[in-house]
């Protein structure tokens, strides 16, 4: 059985793979359409939002590392009922899995224009599922290789692109950075913030990390800062080399084609874009099952859902998220709508983590005192208040772009989650009493 734990560098590659993906390679063109030349500033704001989001999860993971981290924290610090509703919102958030596969397919079409993009997206999703079925350690090794190539690709993109940048396009005036108004600029930054915050999901694998109390927060912070620098530079090249009307709404290969010789362009698309989206897809599927697995152990779901194969993977839950990813691909949902729905729901679940972190010093004082990120409860509360305001604002900005039908779907899903919680709670309570 594959049961080796992840070291610091494997955690770094996991985090970088989670962060670098949809933000640069799928959403940049969409954000340029919203912000014009303001896209680089949008990346900077998104990175600041991401650092805010890391505060509660890094503090919780440093104090109480656990597999299925976010669900475990909600259960222990807020209560079992709230943890299940949180879990269902977490599931809804995973429609974002589809954007990684769809984005990958769009870059395959750059090299092979006649390819069936739906089939390619389904193939990429299937491949990631197969890799994760083998086990987390194997997935981490694949991740390290792909992360190295995508960072080299982004570095080359920056080196070739910066000399061709029109620096006057970055002048700090409304026409440059907010051509469509402040709300659309903020919506673009909010959209990017989800991708920038990918490092926080390392907490879901807390039980599989060496020395998790120190390794998890360190990997989260360093990976986010490293990628933030890359993001800002890539954003400058993407938004300020060609006219905005040529790059708005399209992927960044358009700019790459104008600045690269043909062989380097191919390397960028394959080693950069393809691998960036595959690392995000692969990494997401490695952690997204863990909270549901813990919920199954607690009785919210059938016990069979928690069973692992020889590689330590909960296969039934992995296949469930495979289906979650397939639905938007097959139905042809708009990528921007998927991103806004996933981002908005993600911020709402993050608000619960803020509250869980607020309760941490009171409920588990000893564990908190041993945390590598310990600060006085008063200072922690101030930090969490800032994080709460930032998350509430970005959630509003993201969800405000959805139409009535999409809000109806979210509302019906939450209602179904509450009904399921009421039906299953007796089973969970009986199990808790037995324990």
**pLDDT per position as a tens digit, 96-114:** 788 889 888 988 998 899 9
Residue 136: pLDDT band (50, 70, 90) is: low
* HEC readout, the chain: CCCCCECHHHHHHHHHHHHCCHHHHCHHHHHHHHHHHHHHHHHHHHHHHHHHHHHHHHHHHHHCCCECHHHHHHHHHCCHHHHHHHHHHHHHHHHHHHHHHHHHHHHHHHHCCCCCHHHHHHHHHHHHHHHHHHCHHHHHHHHHHHHHHHHHHHHHHHHHHHHHCCHHHHCCCHHHHCCCCHHHHHHHHHHHHHHHCHHHHHHHEHHHECCHHHHHHHHHHHHHHHHHHHHHHHHHHHHHCCCHHHHCCCCCHHHHHHHCCHHHHHHHHHHHHHHHHHHHHHHHHHHCCHHHHHHHHHCCCCHHHHCCCCCCCCHHHHHHHHHHHHHHHHHCCCHHHHHHHHHHHHHHHHHHHHHHHHHHHHHCHHHHHCCCCCCCHHHHHHHHHHHHHHHHHHHHHHHCCCCHHHHHHHHHHHHHHHHHHHHHHHHHHHHHHHC
> Does 71 have pLDDT greater than 70?
yes
pLDDT at 119: 95
Over the stretch 390-419, which tens digit does the pLDDT of each residue have? 888 887 877 777 778 778 877 888 888 888
CB contact at 8 A, 278 and 124: yes
Q: What is the pLDDT of residue 283?
A: 77
Residue indicated by tokens 């006649």 = 114
> What is the predicted pLDDT for the residue at 1?
39
Q: Please state, rounded to an integer, the average pLDDT across all residues of the chain.
A: 84
pLDDT at 357: 94
**CATH superfamily ID and name for 8-434:** Amino acid/polyamine transporter I (1.20.1740.10)
Average pLDDT score over residue span 248-266: 85
Q: What is the pLDDT of residue 364?
A: 95
Note the pLDDT tens digit of each residue in 308-345: 888 788 999 999 999 988 988 888 877 667 766 776 67
pLDDT reading at 302 higher than 60 = yes
Whole-number pLDDT of residue 21: 65
Report how far residue 57's alpha carbon sits from residue 356's, in angstroms, rounded to the nearest whole number: 9
d(CA 76, CA 84): 12
User: Would the pLDDT of 124 be above 70?
Assistant: yes
Distance between CA atoms of residues 238 and 28, nearest Å:
8
Backbone region of residue 211 per phi and psi (left: phi > 0; alpha: psi in -120 to 50; beta: other values)? left
> What's the pLDDT score for residue 126?
94
Domain map of the chain by residue range? Answer: 8-434
The model's confidence at residue 95, banded by pLDDT at 50, 70 and 90, is confident
pLDDT recorded at residue 23: 65
Convert the pLDDT of each residue in 190-201 to its tens digit: 888 876 877 887
- Paired with 205 in beta bridges are 67
Task: Work out the pLDDT band at 115, boundaries 50, 70, 90.
Answer: very high
């Amino acid at each position: 059985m594959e049961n080796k734990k992840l070291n610091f560098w494997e955690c770094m590659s996991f985090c970088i793979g989670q962060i670098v993906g949809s933000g640069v390679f799928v959403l940049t063109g969409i954000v340029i359409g919203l912000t014009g030349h303001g896209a680089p500033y949008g990346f900077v704001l998104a990175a600041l939002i991401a650092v805010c989001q890391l505060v509660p999860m890094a503090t919780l993971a440093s104090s109480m590392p656990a597999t299925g981290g976010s669900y475990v924290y909600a259960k222990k610090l807020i209560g079992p009922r709230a943890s299940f509703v949180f879990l269902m919102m977490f599931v809804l958030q995973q429609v974002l899995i589809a954007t990684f596969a769809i984005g990958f397919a769009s870059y395959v079409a750059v090299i092979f224009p006649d390819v069936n993009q739906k089939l390619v997206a389904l193939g990429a999703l299937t491949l990631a599922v197969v890799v994760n079925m083998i086990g987390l350690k194997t997935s981490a090794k694949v991740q390290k290789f792909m992360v190295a190539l995508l960072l080299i690709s982004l570095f080359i993109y920056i080196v070739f692109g910066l000399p061709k940048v029109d620096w006057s396009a970055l002048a700090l005036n409304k026409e440059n950075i907010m051509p469509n108004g402040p709300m659309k600029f903020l919506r673009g930054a909010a959209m990017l913030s989800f991708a920038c915050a990918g490092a926080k999901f390392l907490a879901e694998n807390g039980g599989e990390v060496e020395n998790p109390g120190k390794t998890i927060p360190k990997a989260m912070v360093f990976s986010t800062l490293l990628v933030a620098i890359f993001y800002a530079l890539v954003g400058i090249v993407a938004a300020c080399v060609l006219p905005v009307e040529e790059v708005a709404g399209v992927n960044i290969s358009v700019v790459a084609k104008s600045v690269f010789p043909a062989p380097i362009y191919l390397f960028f698309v394959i080693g950069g874009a393809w691998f960036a989206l595959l690392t995000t897809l692969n990494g997401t599927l490695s952690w997204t099952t863990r909270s549901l697995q813990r919920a199954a152990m607690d009785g919210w779901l059938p016990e069979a859902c928690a069973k692992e194969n020889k590689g330590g993977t909960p296969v039934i839950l992995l296949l469930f998220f495979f289906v979650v990813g397939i639905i938007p691909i097959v139905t042809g949902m708009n990528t921007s709508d998927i991103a806004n729905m996933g981002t908005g729901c993600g911020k709402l679940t993050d608000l619960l983590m803020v509250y869980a972190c607020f309760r941490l010093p009171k409920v588990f004082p000893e564990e908190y005192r041993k945390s590598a990120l310990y600060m006085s409860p008063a200072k922690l509360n101030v930090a969490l208040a800032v994080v709460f305001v930032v998350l509430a604002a970005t959630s509003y900005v993201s969800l405000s772009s959805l139409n009535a039908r999409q809000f109806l779907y979210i509302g019906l899903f939450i209602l179904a989650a509450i009904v399921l919680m009421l039906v299953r709670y007796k089973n969970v309570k009986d199990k808790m009493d037995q324990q």
